[in-house]
A and B are shown apart, each in its own frame.
Chain A
Amino acid sequence: MKMANKLNLFIIDDQIPAIPEYVENLVYNTKLDAGSLKHLLKVAEWKGQHSLKRLTSDILRSDHAQSGDLSTYGFTHPSICLDEIDSGLQPDLIIYDWEYGSESNIESANLLIEILNSTKAFIFVYSLVRNEIPPFLNKLEFDAFADRFQLFLKGDTESSIFSSEEFILQYILTRLSKSNVIKIQGITVTFNENGYLNNPSDILHLESIFGRAFLLDRIKSIGFTWSEQNIENMLNNLDDKLLLDEKRSLLITPDSTLFISKFNPELEISLLEAFKRYGLLKVREAFETGIVKV
């Protein structure tokens, strides 16, 4: 089901490739529209920027971009983006590369603060030097914006079931619609609205319960579609049980010997039953600490 909203996405990155015809025509001095970005994807060499290229390509090829619900603009420097914002084009989401040639981390931080102050956009701080950045973003001046940015390592496929680019892509698409074609470790997966997961990022909660290897295996076996029936089948095939202290409404994992000795839960319920009754977040919390109030 599609929501009736439209989004502007800015990609700010000096590694968007420069081609002579655009340099000569001063195209890089202003915003690059989707047509220009598509042309660059086709003809330019994205040296050492395959992750950025793939992300840009996936965004522009998405149904939302094709339908006009998602408008994407590229910028090769934050100052160009700020000029565009001054002229009235407001972004909803920004992919913000951190490093710009010889500019310092302090300059990058200042530009980011300026963008945060000038917009209400959510910003993916996206960088190859991710590990150098935390000391600058952990500063007090970013406190007021803590919920509006998130730091990603370019090309990171190890930190979670989603690569950095897949996470960014599915976040953008989910802002427009809950049902989407998303990517998980390069596999194209259809996410349908269902009673178990609210949106694709809830897959991260499943990952924290079952682990990445298990989920990847299941993604293949459930036919690459996250539908209600497929999720139910997946949960049904698991042997995991949870214990329920009905009197105190506590859900306890079977390995929680301290809590079992204290509460003596008498009922055993299947994982599917727990998901159905209490939802994903409660089950995740139970697995995290061993006990949760339901």
Chain B
Amino acid sequence: MAELTQEEKDKIGPLIAPFSRSNKKPELCVIKDGESEIEPFINHLHDAASDEEPENVVHLKVEEVETLIANAGRFEEKCYLWIIDDKSIKMLKERTRNVKRTHKPNCICHTNLTGGEYARMGGEVFFCEDGRVFLNPFSDRYGGRNITDEQWEATKDYFKNVGYTSLVDIIELLQTT
């Protein structure tokens, strides 16, 4: 088990409501229909405190890493959304059908992982077939466009503590390409 310690909580940052780090107009910071339901997905939610990869994980192929970089760290087909709540990391495949989300029914969003509740951080993760785990903080609800470097480093450290030792920071990867 790698449940968050108080020290990790302090470093990663407080629990925040969806969009509360966002600078978007208030009318864009609204959870729409189907975006806060957690119940349909609860059985598929991966609690990364107790395991390393989600069940039936869809791996990123080694040759797809180039595509991931070319798209600035986005690759919806192989993407898992993650959040850190008060206890641990939760993950779910982004391409999970969510028919109540009328205008994007083939995908869930970060608030589906929290039921619209608070989280400390959010982003996307990709599990490569060679064992590397690619991580970014892309989430307009809980994520990191305006977090500090320290918060991002603490987030990555927590992922490593959980067991993702072959972590690759997509932001760093983009800096070197």
CB of B177 closer than 8 Å to a CB of A: yes
* Chain A CB within 8 A of B102 CB: yes
| Assembled-state Cα–Cα distance A222/B171 (Å) | 40
Please, which residues of chain B bring their CB within 8 A of the CB of A263? 174-175
Determine if A151 is an interface residue (Cβ-Cβ < 8 Å): yes
Judged by DSSP, the binding face of B is loop
The residues of A that contact B103 with a CB separation of less than 8 Å are 159-160, 167, 204
User: How many interface residues does chain B have, given as a range?
Assistant: 35 or more
A197-217 contacts to B (CB < 8 Å)? 204, 208, 210-214
| Chain A residues touching B, range | 35 or more
Residues in B whose Cβ lies below 8 Å from that of A135: 40
* Stretch touching chain A among B1-9, B26-34, B86-94: B26-34
How many residue pairs, one in A and one in B, have C-beta atoms under 8 Å apart?
107
Of the candidates A143, A204, A258, the one whose C-beta lies within 8 Å of that of B137 is A258
* Chief secondary structure at chain A's binding surface: helix
**A residues in contact with B137, CB < 8 Å:** 258
Within 235-249 of A, Cβ neighbours of B (below 8 Å) are at 248
A253 CB within 8 Å of chain B: yes
- The 3 A-B residue pairs with the shortest CB-CB distance, nearest first, are A290-B145, A293-B72, A256-B145
- When distances are taken between beta carbons in the complex, the residues of chain A under 8 Å from B171 are 258-259, 262
How far apart sit A133 and B40, CA to CA, in the bound complex (Å)? 12
CA distance A256 to B137 in the complex (A): 11
Verify if A138 is at the interface (C-beta below 8 Å from B).
Answer: yes
* Cβ contacts under 8 Å, B140 to chain A: 288-290
B40–A257 CB distance below 8 A: no
Please measure, in the bound complex, the distance between the C-alpha atom of A247 and the C-alpha atom of B46, giving whole angstroms: 38
A152 on the B face (CB < 8 A):
yes
CB <8 Å contact, A213 and B100: no
Interface status of A21 (Cβ within 8 A of chain B): no
Determine if A255 is an interface residue (Cβ-Cβ < 8 Å): yes
Q: What distance in Å separates the Cβ of B61 from its nearest Cβ neighbour in chain A?
A: 19
Q: Interface-forming stretch among B12-20, B48-56, B146-154?
A: B146-154
Q: Which of B25, B106, B146 contacts A256 (CB 8 A)?
A: B146
